[in-house]
Amino acid sequence: MTRTSVGVEPMASGSRRGSPEKPSAPRGPRVLVVEDEADVAEMIRYNLSKEGYDVRLAANGTDALRLVKESKPDVILLDIMVPQLNGWEICRRLKQDRETAAIPVIMVSGRVEEGDKVLGFEMGADDYVTKPFSPRELLARVRAVTRRGRLTDQEAGQILRAGDLEIDRPRFEVKMKGRLVELTRKEFDLLATLIRTPGRVFGREELLDLVWGQDGFVEPRTVDVHVARLRAKFTAARAPMPAIETVRGVGYRFRDSVRSDS
């Protein structure tokens, strides 16, 4: 696909794509870079590899989906304007598949309009990076999403219940009155955060820290987008809506009707 190169800020570069490399065993978290501009892909790979990441490249949407199934990456860096399937469609498919929904996706794009960012989050993206970017910024974002994806042993074994709502962390499942509701990882974590302390009001900035991490590089509006998507998922599943209330000018809370009525 021919495009005007958007590029990144100066980065150290390694060997060009296609040059011979010494085989090495996987070293650290696996990162799949979906980028059709060879120079950009190679520079991202070089800088992440220096930090111990096991990096694979895909130059089009079809290869990206195949490699996700084969390698089960810990995080995906996804350019929007890749051939065959664009980044939005790739992200949508990954987040609708239960096997891949929990894999963090960072969209990397030269599209800087707010509408593009909102659409990325609506498709299920965990973060959005605009070009040009620095190696340090990109590395920080990758570290942030991989760190947020690691639950403590205690959290991983929790099953949260509130009335007819059940959040099963080990199975990564949400059920309302026994009806399964498919959520992305961020929607799942957001719902779990609110349900853990019914009645407590969480500010948007606080939710960003708890769900996205303090270095998540996302805006407060992201919380609103994810709450709206969360509500829409329950509607699509024909399940009763969880009692997430908007506290105007502040944020959100979960109202446990069982406690409230007692």
199's tokens: 């009645």
- The pLDDT score that the predictor gives to residue 262 is 40
Which pTM was predicted? 0.59
- The pLDDT score that the predictor gives to residue 21 is 44
Are the CB atoms for 101 and 110 separated by under 8 Å?
A: no
- The pLDDT score that the predictor gives to residue 212 is 79
- The pLDDT score that the predictor gives to residue 224 is 92
130 contacts: CB under 8 Å, gap ≥ 6:
109, 110, 111, 112
Residue type, 86: N
- The pLDDT score that the predictor gives to residue 148 is 61
Domain boundaries along the sequence of the chain = 30-148, 153-261
Return the CATH architecture of domain 153-261: Orthogonal Bundle (1.10)
Report DSSP letters for 192-237, one per residue.
HHHHHSTT--EEHHHHIIIII-TT----THHHHHHHHHHHHHHHHT
- The pLDDT score that the predictor gives to residue 1 is 43
Measured over the CA atoms of residue 183, residue 89, residue 57 and residue 39, the dihedral's sign is negative
Give the pLDDT means over successive 10-residue stretches in the chain (262 positions).
44 42 56 94 93 93 94 92 92 87 88 82 86 87 72 58 87 90 89 89 86 66 90 92 90 72 42
- The pLDDT score that the predictor gives to residue 259 is 45
Are the CB atoms for 166 and 242 separated by under 8 Å?
A: no
- The pLDDT score that the predictor gives to residue 107 is 92
Q: Which residues in 35-126 belong to E strands, given as ranges?
A: 54-58, 75-79, 105-109
Return the CATH architecture of domain 30-148: 3-Layer(aba) Sandwich (3.40)
